[in-house]
Amino acid sequence: MKQRELAVLGRRLLGILTPYLVTLAVAAPIALGLWFALRGRVELSLARRGALVLLGGAALAAWVLFHVERRRAGTMLFSRVADLRAVQAGWRQRIIKLPKALRVVALALVALALARPQSTLGEDELELEGIDIVLVLDLSSSMEETDLQPDRLTAAKLVIDRFLQRRKSDRIGMVVFGKDAYTVAPLTTDYAALRRMVSDLKLGQIDGHGTAIGQGLAVALNRLRRSDAQSRVVILVTDGDNNAGNIAPLQAAAFADKLGVKVFTILVGDHAPASTSQTTTASGRARRRYPVNPKLLEAIAAGTGGVPYLATDTPALERRFHQILEELDRSKYRERAKVHAELFPRLLWPAVVLLFAELVLALTWWRKLP
């Protein structure tokens, strides 16, 4: 009697363990293949360790598929049960849980793939971009002058638009100033939206009876103050001298230097002493002369590590922005950093193959009758 009970217990225990043994048999060659594929990697790491909790879902799926689902399965009455018991179970019966084992291993592989395993191949010198740029544009009334075609403001907007088209990964913001300064756009990589905002700029949107250079620079620096970019830049475009605002330009420049922000200044317009033939515009309107202070812009740029530029016509303005582009590209820094390779595809592909194999087996050898 005891031997029969032990035999029954042994069969039950084997029935419980068999699905897990089949699962291990499926997982072992995959694990061995991954081990051979990853040999020689300097270092392995997981970018999202929290995803490993999903392995618990694979374990839960194994319990449901191997035990709970069997209890809920339908039964069929058969009059010769003793004859069925006398028939020795074939190899297909012994691995009847193979399709479900394939699904469990596939779920485990997906959970590991979501944890984003990475390998460190070593160190290499990488070019790292991280430039945050704020464009500061003068909207004082003097920007209506036509020494830049068709006028100073329109020429500046066209050149800024081309500048935006050439940037790819920098965050760029926009500030305008007249008698006071305002933010048009915070730092963003949505260049299309920023270009629309630049296109909509026009004189009269803000009080243009003054040129608050210091105020405009201060607002731009406030936008860059919390930036974590490796390189931060202000491009200041103006055509006059500071005569408004409550912040001195050099005071703002000192703050920029403290923050590590470079300021590139562009003085636009033909400010040379006018001859008799230059006192009128092409339309016959008398050309007004506005006070300028090139030395101030030079001091702002020099005090922050930037470069001062002068643009007397539209082609010159285009060249100045091109020169700034070159300066910015040179400011991209290089450093040695670890090079990581993503390994999750090596886990996802076996998971897809296992799920496909489960589907094929379920429709062929282990097909269930209704």
Task: Tell me: pLDDT of 21 over 60.
Answer: yes
Write the pLDDT tens digit of every residue in 239-276: 888 999 999 999 999 999 999 999 999 999 876 654 44
Task: Tell me the Ramachandran region of residue 314: left when phi exceeds 0, alpha when psi lies from -120 to 50, beta otherwise.
Answer: alpha
pTM of the model: 0.56
Instruction: Spell 347-366 as b/e; 16+ CB within 10 A means b.
Output: bbebbeebbebbeebeeeeb
* 99 upstream amide cis, omega within 30 of 0: no
Q: Which residue has the higher pLDDT, 122 or 116?
A: 116
Number of residues written out for the chain: 370
Confidence at 155, pLDDT banded by 50, 70, 90: very high
Write the pLDDT tens digit of every residue in 230-241: 789 999 999 888
Task: For the chain, give the mean pLDDT.
Answer: 79
Helix (H) or strand (E) holding 167: none
Q: Which residue has the higher pLDDT, 92 or 354?
A: 354
Q: Which residue has the higher pLDDT, 281 or 137?
A: 137
- Looking at residue 204, what is its pLDDT? 92
Distance CA 231, CA 221 (A): 13
Task: Tell me: pLDDT of 353 over 50.
Answer: yes
For the range 157-161, what are the long-range contacts, defined as Cβ-Cβ under 8 Å and sequence gap of 24 or more? 157/198, 157/199, 157/201, 158/314, 159/314, 159/317, 159/318, 159/321, 160/135, 160/198, 160/237, 160/321, 161/195, 161/198, 161/199
Overall average pLDDT of the 37-54 stretch: 74
CA atoms within 13 A on the CB side of 290: 22
Q: Of 138, 141, 172, nearest to 157 (Cα)?
A: 138
Residues 156 and 235 sit within 8 Å (Cβ to Cβ):
no
Overall average pLDDT of the 204-208 stretch: 93
| Range in 67-71, 97-101, 280-284, 325-329 the model is least confident about | 280-284
Confidence at 335, pLDDT banded by 50, 70, 90: very low
- Looking at residue 82, what is its pLDDT? 55
CATH for 130-331 is 3.40.50.410
Confidence at 135, pLDDT banded by 50, 70, 90: very high
Q: Where in the chain is the domain with CATH 3.40.50.410?
A: 130-331
Handedness of CA 39, 44, 48, 49 (dihedral sign): positive
Cα 88 to the center of its chain, rounded Å: 61
* Residue showing tokens 């002369």: 289
Residue 264, phi then psi, degrees to nearest 5: -100, 125
Overall average pLDDT of the 57-62 stretch: 79
Instruction: Spell 243-253 as b/e; 16+ CB within 10 A means b.
Output: ebbebbbeebb
Of the chain, the end-to-end C-alpha distance in Å amounts to 39
Distance CA 319, CA 307 (A): 14
Residues 336 and 115 sit within 8 Å (Cβ to Cβ):
no
| Range in 193-202, 209-218, 267-276 the model is least confident about | 267-276
Confidence at 316, pLDDT banded by 50, 70, 90: confident
Overall average pLDDT of the 13-17 stretch: 66
